Structure 1
Amino acid sequence: MSSKASYAILGGTSGMGLALAERLVSRGDHVLIGGRSPGRLAAALDRLGEGASGRTVDVLDRGSIEAFFADAPPLSGLFTPAATYRTGAFRDGDTDTSEALFQGKFWSQYWSVFAALPQLLPQAGVVLMSGAASARPLGAAAYAACNAALEGLARGLAVELSPLRVNCLSPGTTDTPLWRDRPAEQREAAYRQWNSLCLVGRPARVEEQADAALFLLDNANITGTTLYCDGGYTLR
């Protein structure tokens, strides 16, 4: 992509979304970021500087998503890592970890792309975000199905919206601020399990996921693809 293009990131106030925003701003692009928390949004904009703008957005509310994109500039790319959900076992029969999970991760991204369409340039790149459980579930069947659905959505949109490019980033466990904010015992136990399941023996870094997302945004010959940035988890 050429310099001084504009991109939008839903979930750009922390983690891999913020890391991608930093990469885009550092090369001279403009980034429109969105997040739920006004305080975190203000902190992210202060960190990014004049190359960024933003507004609060609730990805569970189609009206809020539409308002986010209403006066956005022409966009060369969109990344949608924002999600809110809980996982749980199928036998629990809990709608919060099944139907609400799809609302918070699948439908939020589906309607985000829809709302962004008028602003997306004809050959823009869209990057959805799923998760490696799509290919190697370890329980939580609805979560595995939701991630697989997002990867299917990327393929379907790549065909229907061509020449717009649509791809999906499928990360494994990543050392994000969300994990760092959890109790150390819980985090370290999860990381130990992950280390034994993947090939590289460690969680991903936020910067590695941001680099993967940037690659998918920039490469004009890739569409309808899922990139597993999972340390080889899906190969074990």
Structure 2
Amino acid sequence: MTLKDKRVIIIGGSTGIGLATAKAAIEQGASVVIAGRSLEKLEKAKAEINSDALQVIQVDNKNEEALKAFFEKVGHFDHLFTPGAAYVLGPISADSDIAESSFNGKFWPQYYAAKHAVPYISQSGSIVLMSGAAGQRPIPGAASYAACNGAIESLGKALAIELAPVRVNVVAPGTIRTEKERTEAYEAYKGMCLLKRVGDVEDVAHSVVYLMTNRYTTGSTLFPDGGYVLS
């Protein structure tokens, strides 16, 4: 159960969890395509990984037609991971652009990525969507964000049924330490999860690789959150 000789697509792979997953997949012998909106970030990631097994392609994952063209260009592959997202949090009283940003920046990009991946994905392959632990344990002032994460988890189950034997799963991280410094949020999270620490991108990448390689797991949501949803 490895990714050796498999082709992996990561939309949102130039930084953070996506980049860590790209590194882990290449270490297992996969060829990887990372995609994202920023060509500068993609080129930086390419230089950091420095491997002939990596290809970078610029794509706007909020644009359905761009996603369709992307998969036409990529062609056949084995596994898809879709961590790329951009959104703004706000309470129920927030303006509509804030309220809708989670769905426009996180749900629909993954929905349409899965839609346009279908003609090209191996029947023994998989799709890993990304939600977040707030879908099960919401945070104050972020109702639409919590709802969006819950919707992604339901989408994963629905697609697991619709696309079988292609496996579809969801990874739902808690707060993860990235290159963005969020000291206050990190300290608060330590007190809200059982393991009393913030996760690293490698923790989530390990979970994603498991979901790609375990041939008997589908329709599941995995929570690399340090026990946040239980505490």
Write out aligned runs for 1:141-180 (5 A). Answer: 141-177=143-179, 179-180=180-181
Alignment-derived partner of residue 36 in structure 1 = 37
1:1-236 superposed matches below 5 A: 1=2, 3-48=4-49, 49-92=51-94, 94-139=95-140, 140-177=142-179, 179-180=180-181, 187-236=182-231
Which structure 2 segments of 5+ residues have no match? none
Deviation digits for residues 144-193 of structure 1, max 9, x if unmatched?
A: 0000000000000000110000000000000012x33xxxxxx2211121
Identity %: 40
Matched residues in 2 for 1:134 and 1:174: separation?
15
* One-letter amino acid of the structure 1 residue matched with residue 6 of structure 2: A
Q: Deviations over 1:19-42 (max 9, x none)?
A: 111111122210011011111111
Structure 1 letter corresponding to 2:226: G
Query: For residues 99 and 150 of structure 1, what CA distance do their matches in structure 2 show?
Result: 15
Q: CA deviation at 1:204?
A: 0.3
Q: Which has the higher helix share?
A: 1
Task: Please give the alpha-carbon distance, in whole angstroms, between the structure 2 residues aligned to 1:235 and 1:2.
Answer: 31
* Cα deviation, residue 2, structure 1: 5.3
**1:90 match: secondary structure:** coil
Greater displacement, 114-123 / 64-73? 64-73
Give unmatched runs, 5+ long, in structure 1: 181-186
- Normalised by the length of structure 2, the TM-score is 0.96
Partners of 1:16 and 1:164 in 2: CA distance: 23
Contact 2:8 2:33 survives alignment (8 Å): yes
Distance 2:34 2:222 in 1: 23
2: distance between equivalents of 1:138 and 1:120? Answer: 35
**Alpha-carbon deviation of 1:138?**
1.7
**Between 36-45 and 128-137, the greater mean CA deviation after superposition:** 36-45
Structure 1 range deviating more: 74-83 or 39-48: 39-48
C-alpha offsets along residues 109-141 of structure 1, whole Å, 9 cap, x if unaligned?
Answer: 000011111110012111000000111112211
Using the TM superposition, give the Cα deviation of residue 71 of structure 1 relative to its aligned residue in structure 2, in angstroms: 2.3
User: 1:73 and 1:21 mapped to 2: Cα distance?
Assistant: 18
Q: Look up the SS of the partner of 2:191 in the other structure.
A: helix
In structure 2, do the counterparts of structure 1 residues 235 and 46 end up closer, same or farther at CA, with 3 Å as the change threshold?
Answer: same
Letter in 1 for 2:33: L
Q: Distance in 2 between matches of 1:163 and 1:194?
A: 38
Opposite residue 55 of structure 1, the aligned amino acid is: I
Q: Runs ≥4 in structure 1, deviation > 6 angstroms?
A: none
Counterparts of 1:25 and 1:138, CA distance in 2:
35
Deviations 1:46-101 (A, max 9, x none): 22321011111111111111122112142110000000100100122x12222222
